Structures are given as structure tokens and as C-alpha cells.
């Protein structure tokens, strides 16, 4: 039962991702990407990591993708954007990266074959995640927070330029 669900979700994730790659219309591609993220969330859940699944939905599907849509709206790409997308979907543009990626995938499969990772049946509940983050990985958390702070300051600096210009106009 669980296995069927797992492979079903995996299939959806793969199809949606492929569709997201091949759509010329940015909005359509994004919807597929969201579906793909939701499918991945289901995979996490089935693998016994409900917390990661929830975060996948709340943060990736629910917030980051919203910003993507926001940007698409702001840029207001019309037919010209779609034409450009179609141009990029020609084989000569993606064939080399495609081959390289396929090679990597092959390598990964081979590596997994030689020393299979033990898929633990243990459930990773929110408490464990918290203990792990603020226990052994506390340094990583701190570094990440510093990085985010730097990004925040940078964003403010870039945004200020526009605020100042707007006030000049008044």
C-alpha cells in the first residue's frame, strides 16, 4: 500500500518536473513546479519525515513559489517571453547539459548500487529535527542565519535605491 503511494507520488513528481521544464508559458511551468513540490512533500511524509513534508509545503510551495509568481506578474512577460522560451527549448540549447546531467544520474545510480543507504523506518518528528538543529548542527544554523542577515541587508541596500528615486519624483 505505502509502496504504491510512494511510487505514485514519485511518478507525479517526475512528470510534473518534466512538464515544468518543457512549458513555454512561465505561469504554466510554475504550476507544474508547485505540483512537483507537493509530490515531493508527499514523498517526505511517506518516508517518515512529516516535519520536512510540512516545511516543504509551507516554505517552498507556499512562500517561495508565491514570490516566483509575483516576479512573473511584475515582469509581465507576454508573447515575446513565450517565444524566447520556445527558442531555448530547442535541442541544441539543452543537449549538452542534458547529457552531463544524465551522466551524473548514472553515476549516482551506480554509487547507490554499490553501497545502498539504509532507509531507516524511523520517524523523524519535529522534536528530533529541533534537537538536531540546535544540537550537533547549531553552528550550521548560526552560519545560515548570518547569511540570511547579510542577504537582508543587501536587499535593503538595493531596494533603498528605488525608494530614494521615488521620493525624488514627488
- The footprint of another protein (CB under 8 A) covers 25, 27-28, 31, 34, 38, 41, 50-51, 53-55, 57-58, 61-63, 66-67, 69-70, 72-74, 76, 125-126, 166, 169-170
Between 104 and 144, whose beta carbon lies closer to another protein? Answer: 144
Between 135 and 162, whose beta carbon lies closer to another protein? Answer: 162
Residue found under cell 547507490: 112
Q: For residue 66, give every residue at least 6 positions away whose Cβ sits within 8 Å of its Cβ, in sequence order, or none.
A: none
The least distance separating another protein from the CB of residue 45, rounded to whole angstroms, comes to 9
Distances in whole angstroms, Cα of residue 31 to Cα of each of 21, 52, 131, 156, 168: 11, 21, 35, 30, 39
The least distance separating another protein from the CB of residue 17, rounded to whole angstroms, comes to 18
The least distance separating another protein from the CB of residue 93, rounded to whole angstroms, comes to 25
> 136: which 3 cell numbers?
550537533
Query: Residue 77 has what DSSP assignment?
Result: -
Amino acid at each position: 500500500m505505502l509502496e504504491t503511494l510512494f511510487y505514485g507520488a514519485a511518478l507525479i513528481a517526475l512528470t510534473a518536473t518534466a512538464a515544468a521544464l518543457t512549458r513555454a508559458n512561465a505561469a504554466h511551468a510554475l504550476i507544474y513546479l508547485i505540483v512537483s513540490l507537493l509530490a515531493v512533500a508527499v514523498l517526505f511524509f511517506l518516508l517518515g519525515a512529516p516535519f520536512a513534508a510540512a516545511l516543504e509545503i509551507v516554505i517552498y510551495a507556499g512562500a517561495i513559489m508565491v514570490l516566483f509568481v509575483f516576479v512573473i506578474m511584475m515582469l509581465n512577460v507576454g508573447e515575446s517571453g513565450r517565444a524566447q522560451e520556445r527558442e531555448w527549448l530547442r535541442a541544441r540549447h539543452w543537449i549538452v547539459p542534458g547529457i552531463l546531467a544524465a551522466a551524473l544520474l548514472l553515476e549516482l545510480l551506480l554509487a547507490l548500487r554499490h553501497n545502498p543507504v539504509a532507509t531507516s523506518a524511523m520517524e523523524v518528528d519535529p522534536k528530533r529535527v529541533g534537537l538536531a538543529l540546535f544540537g550537533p548542527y547549531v553552528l550550521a544554523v548560526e552560519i545560515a542565519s548570518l547569511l540570511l542577515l547579510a542577504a537582508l541587508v543587501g536587499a535593503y541596500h538595493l531596494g533603498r535605491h528605488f525608494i530614494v528615486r521615488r521620493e525624488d519624483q514627488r
